[in-house]
Structure 1
Amino acid sequence: MNSPSTRTVTDLASKIDTGMDALVQQLTELIRHRSISADGNVSKVRETAQHITALLADAGVEAELIDVGDDGRQHAPLVYADHRCADAAPDTPTVLLYAHYDVHPADGWEEAFTPVVDTSSNRLYGRGAADDKAGIVMHLGAIRAFDGTPPVHLKLAWEGEGEAGRGSLEELVRERPDLFQADVVIVADSGNVRPGVPTLTTSLRGLATMDVTVRTLQRPVHSGTCGGPAPDAFTALVRMLATLHAPDGSIAPELLSRHEWQGAEVSEEQFRDDAHILPDVQLTGAGSVAQRLYADPAINVIGLDGIPPVDRARHSVCDRATARLSIRLSPEMSSASETLGKLRQHLESVRPWNVETTIQDRVVSAGYQADVDKKTFQDAESALLGAYSGMSEVAYTGRGGSLPLVAALQEVNPGAVMLVWGCEEPLTDIHGDGENVALPELRNMTLAEATLFDSLRSEPGTGADRVA
């Protein structure tokens, strides 16, 4: 393990502590930017991108704005930089830093873009404080710790549509893989399992969507004159969907594969609180909460079409009904297409009354399972433990959600080490009306990243293969 020396950590900590007031001020200024990509106001988001390029220039990094997407719509630009250090060896490892500068809509939170520091909790409140402008500022702070000349070759890819979910950056990654070639990829869009507990996210579930359409009649008919023998499409659809789950709510193993979770556990009490589950309602599935959340597949209905809402109900037999399924896939799934094929065959085999069925599926993102035995993970652990004084071990956690960009970056960098970390611990309330970031977390994660840069520096005769 290439543990950084105590003096190295001490020197970097001193540098970061001296610059913390400036980092907090930069994050405060970023929060004031209403960079909501989902509302289509690209000019506001572009202003934020231009502001970030000015911050980078002040840190000694020249960045450019790259347009993404060719679908005829306006898109928020990618803030991109390829920063080679003048005094670095030619074979210095390349580290790609990712974060996104757009934010979730305010959703009625009136003070969302008026940042406030709560001195009692040492937390900065505002939309994007944690997700993900803290990631932007964390990267900036790590670069500034070396006065703009960190000991690794840096590439920056800071997205303006991370919350919009349009997939434009993933398309650019596949179209221009040369821009994103790296030995190490650091994705700053995650966080610790609890405040003060250093954590690496090592597992991401994959994501697919499936539209299941059932058709029974040429058109709707009156439920009084035809109800009974005329098959109702919505009823047929419900019967089909009900076969996907066992009585305890788990997915049958022959439908979707699973793997054993070996990382940090999640208490049922904490999860019930996080998920806002009603007091008497039972959790679904079997096994530990972490097993069900991070490793097991899940299927949820996220949209319906074909049946009117209650306030517009009518006495007719439904002729056509469609359900859109959100399917979370096991991180280690080898073939998402093959698995979805099994799911499609199952649904077709349980059609009641020989109803006409059409099924369309789309894989949005493959899962990700880190190889924690690689040396760079050991370096990252050492960097985290150096930053979080008094801690003896790093927690490994997963995410029940997906990060499609991680899969795309891994696809074009099959040998790269992917590190997913950041400042988004549970109390940050991302997307909520009290989103915030703990300033000690911002400081410690900035120090961890700077320390990792130092541990990856090339030594004579070693080269970029040190990151394996």
Structure 2
Amino acid sequence: MAALTADEIRARVEGDWDRIIEVLSKKIALRSVSANGITAEHMKRSAEFVADELRKVGVDAKVVQSHNPDGTPGAWEVIGSHIVDPDAPTVLLYAHHDVQPVPDPSAWDTDPFVATAIGDRLYGRGSADDGGGIAIHSGALKALDDDLKVNIKVFIEGEEEMGSASFIPFIEEHQSDFESDVIIVADSGNWSAEIPSLTTSLRGNTNLDVTVRALTHPVHSGQYGGPILDANTLAAMLIASMHDANGDLAVPGVLAEEPIGGLQQDVDETSMRADAGVVPGYRLAGTGSIASRMWTKPSVTVIGFDAHPVDGSFNVIAPETRFRLSLRTAPNQRPEEAQAALADFLKAHAPFGAEVEVEPGDNGMGWAMDPNAVATRDALEAMEEAFGVAPINQGQGGSIPFIPELQRIFPDAQVLVTGPEDPKANAHSPNESVSLFGLKHNVITEALLLAKLGK
């Protein structure tokens, strides 16, 4: 039988479109907020819904409860497979069925748990992150149907938004359910709703808690102020010492990289400033392309600071303070290496000889795509055929720790990171939405990609 053409796949997706939107709409209505309890009944119900929908498109899917590293019950996971030929390539499809909370429904223009179409976008919590990923997998498998030429394995996770605590134990207990030649992670997004992207890299992440101490007890600022600086000021000096005059992080041993696979198009500064809500007079920190600064160069952020509130403050010199640093690392640097380098730098740059103590926190490895892999080439071709325009690859400044863990456990698998989001998706925020144009073409892309991988 001749292979399906792009037009045939496109026609099949068009014919199945109402079902795909119905699946996504029902998924939004399930309120699968893992923050309300990963082991709770509503999360089990969400997993069972996904497993049912996967069975309708040929996957022998089941719901299994994971276990945390300490042995306590973990998330409700969906695993399954569809084996067409033991000798054919095997593709693992990943998405997650849990969603972010909605702390303030009044901040939404629509009911966050009722799928609402406005123009080209479908609004609702999880419409993009990551109900859209589930819809893509469902639509692509339905489009190929009996013409599928690759073996399929699926893993739909139930606690991605909570940090994936049980992820590694679950893989280790079910390793045969994950072994594959290609892994498609549908939890990222495109350059825009109309321009597709492969995600080429993810930064790693590491945290440090830093204590700065100048005194053994508080003293009066009028009596001792001048020769003795308060701990908050000393901490500010220490924090500022990490950056050079251009705003680049200047810590020896903390590495920087250029965009993986080359930079096809830089991030538009005007759009970036508008999306981030940058005040008009602020000059962007750092040098080089904005893309490299956001995707592959390191960045450090003070995410917590212990200081007396302004209200109720009084005239004393703070003897010590503590702050937490979040360091985003270049995709290929080991986070523990960067963490140690930053800790050494901070202790060596203690202002005026103040005591500086550093307590290391958690580490998450970054990830870089193999731009020369066969699966990468197939994915880029599928994107251009589906969308009708050349893809613009992009890195992500954030971290998805389970991807490098997958790559570590299955080093021979080619990992592709795709997804339904675009710059207007507002994932994790009020008015989350997915582009209907983008979603449809993402489904066509994945079907085309699976067809190419089966040749």
Give the structure-1-normalised TM-score.
Answer: 0.89
1:400 aligns with 2:392: no
Secondary structure of residue in 2 paired with 1:172: helix
The Cα of 1:437 is off from its aligned counterpart by: 0.9
Secondary structure of residue in 2 paired with 1:44: helix
**CA contact 2:191–2:423 (8 Å) conserved in 1:** yes
**CA contact 2:150–2:450 (8 Å) conserved in 1:** yes
Within 2, Cα distance between the matches of 1:166 and 1:173?
Answer: 11
Within 2, Cα distance between the matches of 1:260 and 1:282?
Answer: 21
Within 1, Cα distance between the matches of 2:195 and 2:400?
Answer: 22
Secondary structure of residue in 2 paired with 1:14: helix
Seen in structure 2, the aligned counterparts of structure 1 residues 129 and 235 have a Cα distance that, compared at 3 Å, is same
**Correspondence for 2:24:** 27
Deviations 1:196-245 (A, max 9, x none): 11211111111111111123333434444554455532222222111001
Seen in structure 2, the aligned counterparts of structure 1 residues 154 and 6 have a Cα distance that, compared at 3 Å, is closer
Deviations 1:385-414 (A, max 9, x none): 2211x32x2211110111111111110111
Within 2, Cα distance between the matches of 1:295 and 1:258?
Answer: 6
Seen in structure 2, the aligned counterparts of structure 1 residues 72 and 237 have a Cα distance that, compared at 3 Å, is farther
**CA contact 2:69–2:165 (8 Å) conserved in 1:** no
Aligned ranges 1:141-180 → 2 under 5 Å: 141-147=139-145, 150-173=148-171, 177-180=175-178
Task: Give the counterpart of 2:95 among 76, 95, 99.
Answer: 99
1:426 aligns with 2:423: yes
Query: Which amino acid in structure 1 is aligned with residue 165 of structure 2?
Result: G
Query: Which amino acid in structure 2 is aligned with residue 327 of structure 1?
Result: L
Within 2, Cα distance between the matches of 1:52 and 1:260?
Answer: 39
Within 2, Cα distance between the matches of 1:428 and 1:226?
Answer: 53
**Correspondence for 1:295:** 296
Secondary structure of residue in 1 paired with 2:424: helix
Aligned ranges 1:67-86 → 2 under 5 Å: 67-71=66-70, 75-81=74-80, 83-85=81-83
Deviations 1:354-387 (A, max 9, x none): 3322212245321212111111111111211221
**CA contact 1:265–1:288 (8 Å) conserved in 2:** yes
The Cα of 1:69 is off from its aligned counterpart by: 1.5
Within 2, Cα distance between the matches of 1:442 and 1:339?
Answer: 38
Secondary structure of residue in 2 paired with 1:46: helix
Within 2, Cα distance between the matches of 1:50 and 1:6?
Answer: 33
**CA contact 1:68–1:78 (8 Å) conserved in 2:** no
Within 2, Cα distance between the matches of 1:47 and 1:285?
Answer: 47
Secondary structure of residue in 2 paired with 1:193: coil
Out of 179-188 and 134-143, give the one that drifted further.
179-188
Task: Report how many residues are paired.
Answer: 445
CA-based RMSD? 2.2
**Correspondence for 1:344:** 343
Secondary structure of residue in 1 paired with 2:324: strand
Secondary structure of residue in 2 paired with 1:146: helix
Secondary structure of residue in 1 paired with 2:43: helix
**CA contact 2:249–2:299 (8 Å) conserved in 1:** yes
Query: Which amino acid in structure 2 is aligned with residue 92 of structure 1?
Result: A
Query: Which amino acid in structure 2 is aligned with residue 89 of structure 1?
Result: D
Seen in structure 2, the aligned counterparts of structure 1 residues 303 and 72 have a Cα distance that, compared at 3 Å, is farther
Secondary structure of residue in 2 paired with 1:156: strand
Identity of aligned residues (%): 35
**Gaps (5+ residues) in structure 2?**
none
**Correspondence for 1:311:** 311
**CA contact 2:251–2:345 (8 Å) conserved in 1:** no
Within 2, Cα distance between the matches of 1:315 and 1:375?
Answer: 66
Secondary structure of residue in 1 paired with 2:45: helix
Out of 285-294 and 40-49, give the one that drifted further.
40-49
1:235 aligns with 2:236: no
Within 2, Cα distance between the matches of 1:95 and 1:164?
Answer: 26
**CA contact 1:173–1:408 (8 Å) conserved in 2:** no
Give the structure-2-normalised TM-score.
Answer: 0.91
Aligned ranges 1:235-384 → 2 under 5 Å: 235-252=233-250, 254-261=252-259, 262-263=262-263, 264-305=265-306, 307-333=307-333, 335-384=334-383
Secondary structure of residue in 2 paired with 1:212: strand
**Correspondence for 1:461:** none
The Cα of 1:22 is off from its aligned counterpart by: 0.6
Query: Which amino acid in structure 1 is aligned with residue 25 of structure 2?
Result: T
Secondary structure of residue in 2 paired with 1:339: helix
**CA contact 1:177–1:412 (8 Å) conserved in 2:** no
**Correspondence for 1:199:** 197
The Cα of 1:287 is off from its aligned counterpart by: 1.5
The Cα of 1:77 is off from its aligned counterpart by: 1.3
Within 2, Cα distance between the matches of 1:414 and 1:18?
Answer: 38
Seen in structure 2, the aligned counterparts of structure 1 residues 312 and 91 have a Cα distance that, compared at 3 Å, is farther
Secondary structure of residue in 2 paired with 1:142: helix
Query: Which amino acid in structure 2 is aligned with residue 243 of structure 1?
Result: S
